[in-house]
Amino acid sequence: MNLVALVCWLLAFTNLLIRGESSNAICKENFKLDPRPHSVSILEFGAVGDGKSLNTLAFQNAIFYLKSFADKGGAQLYVPPGKWLTGSFNLTSHLTLFLEKGATILASPDPSHWDIVTPLPSYGRGVELPGKRYRSLINGDNLLDVVITGDNGTFDGQGAAWWEWLESGTLNYSRPHIIEFVSSKHILISNLTFLNAPSVNIHPVYCSHVHIRKVLIETSVDSPYVLGVVPDSSDNVCIEDSTINVGHDTVSLKSGWDQYGINYGRPTTTVHIRNLRLKSPTGAGISFGSEMSGGISDVTVEKLSIHSSLVGVAFRTTRGRGGYIRNITISGVVLAGVETAIVADAHTGSHPDDEFDRDAIPVVTHIVMRNFTGEDIGLAGSFTGIVESPFTSICLTDIHLQTSSGTWVCSNVSGFSDDVSPEPCAELMSTSSSCFAGGSIYGGDTAAQSFYSW
């Protein structure tokens, strides 16, 4: 197919743009994209898809060229089948990056191909090492309307070298992510496979209206602290219809670290997560925190399958974090082969430095968990709050777990339960429920419906 024919074909079928109603990132049934009016192929910028030639400049030049289309309805950068080795590059607004079936963007394993950048203000330092961090493979900073999609094209982070540098202590800066958007709006990531990430796969931070759907994210089971999707100080996030198997937490909601996160003060809120298949042999299927200093609230999670994992659902925080985790509803969770189904631990996580405020006590409240079933579970649940700020209004209904221990661990927690087996500890069996008061969403049954009216 010649280039003109290819471009016409792309115009007809694959240039996509989120517009109007569907730009709301909260998961919606009628998902619709409009085509971009312009498209170029990475081949036009001299890229070579042999898996050996470095294409960083080709990507940078293509994006620079496509910037001029931002006010003309935007444009698409088409990546044909091939293995496209590259260092990190930036995206631009009103852009679609489309990875054809058989197209793999290969991350260069040479650290000199990755820029070094200042830490995020809400973390104050790199997460893994003090000081700076590597820029992500694909970056969006202050962008609007960006689509990264394809016909199941692949990002391969070639992370094995990074995992080894982390484990051997020879890393100089915190590891890069595959995709990071900072302070951006209206982002869609779909129909893609992510393999071997150096650390986080997809990291939207200070973003609004982020939609992630139909992705497959996979790393080897022993990839250290590799996370799937990390919505961080972001709002209006939808994550749906995806499979994530990684070394550490598959989906982790965060909002900054101790005094840096408290000062930055941007919560993660209005998040809808549904229909995910998750596996995390050394982490959790879904986690909240431990970095949650800007607060995490108004999260609805439905239909998860969590298998072969250390933890199913985790709430993690610690003294010094401040912030809150509240108004969370999780329902329709099927667990199999999970060490601990539910963990809420207020004694987990390290500090960025010694300047944290010991009196900044996090609050964890109004958590509804409903309709969980589990087979081959070790411990049903473990709740350990902080004495000055116990977990409150933890509401468990219709939860049935086949456990080897038959017990729950509870300390500094209070809540309500109904139709839960094995029988929870007395702290979670208060009769007057504060969870279901005042016709709020906490009842669980109306959670999904009310989500759409937010």
Ligand X SMILES: *[C@@H]1O[C@H](CO)[C@@H](O)[C@H](O)[C@H]1NC(C)=O
Contact string 52-91 vs ligand X (x = CB under 6 A): --------x-----------------------------x-
Give the H or E element holding residue 263: helix 258-264
Q: Measured from the CB of residue 112, what is the shortest distance to ligand X in angstroms? A: 8
Asked whether the beta carbons of 374 and 340 are under 8 A apart, the reply is no
Q: Which of residues 225-264 bind ligand X (CB under 6 A)?
A: none
Residue number with the smallest Cβ distance to ligand X: 332
Contact string 137-166 vs ligand X (x = CB under 6 A): --x-x-------x--x-x----------x-
Contact string 175-194 vs ligand X (x = CB under 6 A): ---------------xx-x-
Contact string 358-387 vs ligand X (x = CB under 6 A): --------x----x---------------x
Q: Phi, psi at residue 74, to the nearest 5°?
A: 85, 180
d(CA 43, CA 346): 52
Asked whether the beta carbons of 42 and 55 are under 8 A apart, the reply is yes
* Residue 258 CA, distance from chain mean position: 20
Show the tokens assigned to 335.
């667990």
Residues with Cβ within 8 Å of residue 9, at least 6 apart in sequence: 1
Q: Which is nearer to ligand X, 262 or 413 (CB)?
A: 413
The closest of 8, 17, 232 to 119, measured between CA atoms, is 232
Judged by CB under 6 A, the number of residues near ligand X is 34
Q: Measured from the CB of residue 192, what is the shortest distance to ligand X in angstroms? A: 8
d(CA 165, CA 369): 39
Q: Measured from the CB of residue 282, what is the shortest distance to ligand X in angstroms? A: 22
Asked whether the beta carbons of 292 and 317 are under 8 A apart, the reply is yes
308 binds ligand X (CB under 6 A): no
Q: Which is nearer to ligand X, 307 or 326 (CB)?
A: 326
Among 111, 289, 294, 381, binds ligand X (CB under 6 A): 111
430 binds ligand X (CB under 6 A): no
Q: Which is nearer to ligand X, 196 or 287 (CB)?
A: 196
48 binds ligand X (CB under 6 A): no
Span near ligand X by CB under 6 A; candidates 219-227, 245-253, 260-268, 295-303: 295-303
Span near ligand X by CB under 6 A; candidates 36-44, 325-333, 414-422, 428-436: 325-333
d(CA 179, CA 273): 19
Q: Measured from the CB of residue 420, what is the shortest distance to ligand X in angstroms? A: 14
396 binds ligand X (CB under 6 A): no
In 10 A of CB 56, how many CB atoms? Answer: 16
The DSSP result for 307-345, as a single string, is: EEEEEEEEEE--TT---EEEEEEEEEEEEEEEEEEEEEE
Residue listed under structure tokens 């393999």: 195
d(CA 260, CA 355): 10
Q: Which is nearer to ligand X, 3 or 241 (CB)?
A: 241
d(CA 201, CA 136): 9
Q: Measured from the CB of residue 2, what is the shortest distance to ligand X in angstroms? A: 25
DSSP 3-state percent helix, strand, coil across the chain (nearest 5): 15, 45, 35
- Sign of the alpha-carbon dihedral angle for 404, 406, 412, 414: positive
Q: Which is nearer to ligand X, 125 or 366 (CB)?
A: 366
Applying CB under 6 A, which residues contact ligand X?
Answer: 16, 33, 60, 90, 111, 139, 141, 149, 152, 154, 165, 170-172, 190-191, 193, 213-214, 216, 297-298, 303, 326-327, 332, 334, 366, 371, 387, 411-412, 441, 454
